[in-house]
């Protein structure tokens, strides 16, 4: 497979500088786009096969087409750079090394959907990258590439403004409707859908939300043609992806490679293999919320949406987390569960209560106070969370527990006992301090 194609992070020194970007063909795609009709642009992105890089892998062009053609309300574009998924660290590479291609992609997208205002929502902890992105915006404004000066620069009647919105560090704001509530100055609570953002988004107006990496692909699609993009990587999930590889590998980092690359090739050839030449016990292929894969079942699995779905997982943010044979999966799962328990917004009872129950049960297992029934209890609680919440955070919390226990049950059976006793709480004074066997405790 051809691996030297770089769409999002081309290997050009100082590309983050506006003059260097322009010298290398920057904003030519925008000039080309502004001579075409918005419908033509949407159709090109559809045909290219570009799918969202933020987790859901939904067709970008199809999402754009949901925006109403005629409305008396303003339209908005929101770019999701919250990137709070554990194991995901690729969007910040764009902010640092290729911000102007993101800006150009925003201009083209705004023109295609009819938006005059765009917001780049960046997670609050990304102080460095917020500064870098703001510098890029300031330079583009001064050069006439954004705002009303665009009319002269690009010889067009269209113009738009771009603003950075700094998040406050809440994982839930990576969910699109929570992101919109945060932008409006409200608490980051997910909204019930429908209505969807294209019908009722920011301030009740039509809104499109796309990931940073998704938008950064757009200029190259317009510049080189949708046919070119559609032939890169996997047929049903074309293009390149920024793979963020972490964990027990020799060369962790962010690598831009075509979709459809073998997971084993990614780990052993690109990331230098496992440290100490140890065996792989577990791989999470798309950020912490995606179902984990067994290390002895990785052969033939490719890194694209369709292949990973067939393997029982998902591409997510392409944050590949590799764990070697010495990894304590119970502590890994407890740490992941603690994150989702902490980050639950509390709006939905299954998520608010269920994440806490799962964490307490996992901690009880770590303390040596659990039986095999607790493994089944964890799976039962996860099943009751999954699909029963307003947003996908419930699923994100449930999947690691559900699939880790199912696929690595032997690992967790080592921590359970048959003769565990628990203290009796909330009893009358005379019974305080007594204990009962766990098997006698009725739920």
Q: What is the mean pLDDT of residues 257-277?
A: 97
Instruction: Evaluate whether residue 137 is within a structural domain.
Output: yes
DSSP state letters, 141-154: HHTTSSSTTHHHHH
pTM of the model as a whole: 0.92
What does the pLDDT look like over 86-136, one tens digit per residue? Answer: 999 999 999 999 999 999 999 999 999 999 999 999 999 999 999 999 999
Determine the structural domain holding residue 41 and report its residue range. 18-231
- Let me know: does 255 contact 242? Beta carbons within 8 Å: yes
Task: Decide: residue 372, CB within 10 A, 0-12 exposed, 13-18 middle, 19+ buried.
Answer: middle
- 91: nearest Cα among 224, 230, 212, 218: 212
Answer for the pair 415, 362: CB distance below 8 angstroms, yes or no.
no
Residues 245 and 375 grouped into a single domain: no
Question: Is the dihedral angle over the CA atoms 411, 412, 413, 419 positive or is it negative?
Answer: positive
CATH, residue 38: 3.40.50.11540
- 35: pLDDT strictly greater than 60: yes
Pair 333, 341: CB distance under 8 Å = no
Block residue for tokens 């909204």? 191
User: What's the rounded Cα separation, in Å, for the pair 6 and 75?
Assistant: 32
Nearest Cα to Cα of residue 285 among 319, 336, 238: 319
Considering Cα of 260, then 266, then 269, then 270, what sign does the dihedral take? positive
d(Cα 244, Cα 57) in Å, to the nearest integer?
16
The answer to whether 99 touches 133, Cβ cutoff 8 Å, is yes
Kindly state whether residues 82 and 121 are assigned to the same domain.
yes
Task: Answer whether residue 432 shows pLDDT above 70.
Answer: no
CB–CB of 136/100 below 8 Å?
Answer: yes
Distance spanning both ends of the chain, measured CA to CA: 54
Q: How far apart are the C-alpha atoms of 292 and 294, rounded to whole Å?
A: 7
Nearest residue to 189 (alpha-carbon basis) of 342, 389, 345: 345
> Does residue 346 lie in a domain region?
yes
Last residue of some domain: 231, 258, 289? 231
Asked if the structure places residue 439 within a domain, the reply is: no
DSSP 8-state secondary structure symbol assigned to residue 173: G
pLDDT digits (tens, 9 = 90+) for 328-347: 999 999 999 999 999 999 99
How much is the average pLDDT of 368-379? 92
CATH code for position 380:
1.20.1440.230
Percent of the chain scoring above 90 in pLDDT: 91
Report whether 355 contacts 340 (CB < 8 A).
yes
On whether the CB atoms of residues 77 and 207 are closer than 8 A, the answer is yes
Instruction: Indicate whether 422 belongs to any domain.
Output: no
CATH number at residue 288: 3.10.20.600
* 220 shares a domain with 93: yes
Is the separation of the CB atoms in 375 and 402 below 8 Å? no
Report residue 430's pLDDT band, with 50, 70 and 90 as the boundaries. low
Q: Is 43 exposed, middle or buried (0-12, 13-18, 19+ CB in 10 A)?
A: middle
As for how many domains the chain has, the answer is 3
CA distances from 119 to 190, 202, 279 (A): 18, 11, 44
Picking from 168, 188, 162, 167, the residue whose alpha carbon sits closest to that of residue 176 is 188
Angle, helix 99-113 to helix 38-48, in steps of 10 degrees:
120
Q: Quick one: 167 and 72 in the same domain?
A: yes
Going by the DSSP 8-state scheme, the letter that residue 263 receives in this structure is H
Residue that is last in its domain, among 214, 231, 248 = 231
Contact 136, 103 (CB under 8 A): yes
Q: Is the pLDDT of residue 421 over 70?
A: no
What is the percentage of the chain residues whose pLDDT exceeds 70? 94
On whether both 380 and 278 belong to a single domain, the answer is: no
66-78 mean pLDDT = 96
Q: Which residues, at least 6 apart from 109, have a Cβ–Cβ distance to it below 8 Å?
A: 64, 77, 115, 118, 208, 210, 215, 218
Q: Is residue 2 part of a domain?
A: no
Q: At what angle do helices 393-407 and 349-366 cross, to 10 degrees?
A: 30
Claim to verify: residue 218 and residue 361 sit in the same structural domain: no
Residues 105, 179 within the same domain = yes
Q: Is the pLDDT of residue 241 over 70?
A: yes
Indicate if 303 and 350 belong to the same structural domain. no
Sign of CA dihedral 88, 89, 90, 94: positive
127, 260: one domain:
no
Does 7 fall in a domain?
A: no
- Report the pLDDT value the prediction gives residue 151, as an integer from 0 to 100: 95
- 188 shares a domain with 134: yes
Residue 133 domain-assigned (yes or no): yes
pLDDT band at 426 (very low <50, low <70, confident <90, very high): low
From 171, 199, 231, give the residue that closes a domain.
Answer: 231
Let me know whether 273 and 225 are in one domain: no
Do 226 and 275 lie in one domain? The reply is no
173, 119 Cβ separation under 8 angstroms = no
Mean pLDDT for 172-194 is 95
Q: Is residue 443 situated within a structural domain?
A: no
Dihedral over alpha carbons 375, 376, 380, 381 (to 10 degrees): -30
Q: Is 224 helix (H, G, I), strand (E, B) or coil?
A: helix
């Amino acid at each position: 497979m051809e691996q030297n194609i770089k769409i999002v992070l081309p290997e050009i020194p100082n590309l983050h500088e506006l003059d260097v970007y322009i010298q290398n063909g920057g904003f030519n795609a925008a000039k080309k786009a502004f001579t075409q009709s918005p419908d033509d642009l949407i159709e090109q992105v559809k045909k290219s096969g570009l799918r969202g890089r933020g987790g859901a892998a939904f067709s970008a062009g199809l999402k754009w087409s949901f925006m109403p053609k005629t409305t008396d309300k303003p339209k908005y574009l929101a770019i999701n750079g919250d990137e709070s998924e554990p194991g995901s660290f690729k969007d910040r590479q764009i902010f640092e090394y290729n911000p102007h291609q993101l800006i150009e992609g925003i201009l083209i997208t705004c023109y295609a959907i009819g938006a005059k205002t765009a917001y780049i929502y960046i997670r609050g902890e990304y102080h460095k990258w917020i500064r870098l992105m703001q510098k890029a915006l300031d330079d583009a404004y001064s050069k006439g590439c954004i705002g009303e000066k665009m009319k002269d620069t690009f010889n067009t009647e269209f113009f738009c403004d771009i603003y950075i919105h700094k998040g406050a560090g809440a994982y839930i704001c990576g969910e699109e409707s929570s992101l919109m509530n945060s932008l409006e100055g409200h608490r980051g609570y997910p909204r019930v859908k429908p209505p969807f953002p294209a019908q009722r988004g920011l301030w009740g107006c039509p809104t499109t939300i796309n990931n940073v990496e998704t938008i950064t692909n757009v200029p190259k699609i317009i510049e080189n043609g949708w046919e070119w993009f559609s032939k890169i990587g996997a047929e049903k999930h074309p293009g390149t992806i920024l793979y963020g590889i972490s964990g027990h590998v020799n060369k962790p980092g962010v690598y831009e490679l075509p979709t459809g690359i073998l997971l084993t090739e990614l780990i052993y050839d690109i990331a230098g293999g496992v440290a100490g030449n140890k065996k792989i016990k577990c791989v999470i292929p798309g950020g912490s919320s995606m179902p984990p894969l067994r290390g002895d079942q990785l052969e033939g699995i490719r890194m694209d949406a369709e292949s990973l779905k067939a393997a029982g997982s998902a591409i997510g943010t392409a944050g590949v987390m590799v764990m070697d044979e010495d990894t304590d999966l119970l502590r890994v799962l407890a740490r992941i569960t603690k994150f989702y328990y902490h980050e639950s917004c509390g709006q939905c009872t299954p998520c608010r209560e269920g994440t806490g129950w799962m964490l307490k049960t996992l901690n009880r297992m770590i303390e040596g106070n659990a039986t095999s029934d607790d493994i089944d209890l964890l799976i039962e609680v996860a099943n009751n969370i999954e699909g029963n919440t307003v947003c996908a955070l419930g699923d994100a919390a449930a999947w690691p527990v559900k699939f880790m226990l199912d696929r690595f049950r032997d690992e967790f059976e080592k921590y359970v006992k048959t003769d565990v006793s628990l203290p009796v709480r909330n009893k009358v004074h005379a019974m305080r301090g007594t204990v009962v066997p766990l098997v006698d405790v009725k739920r």
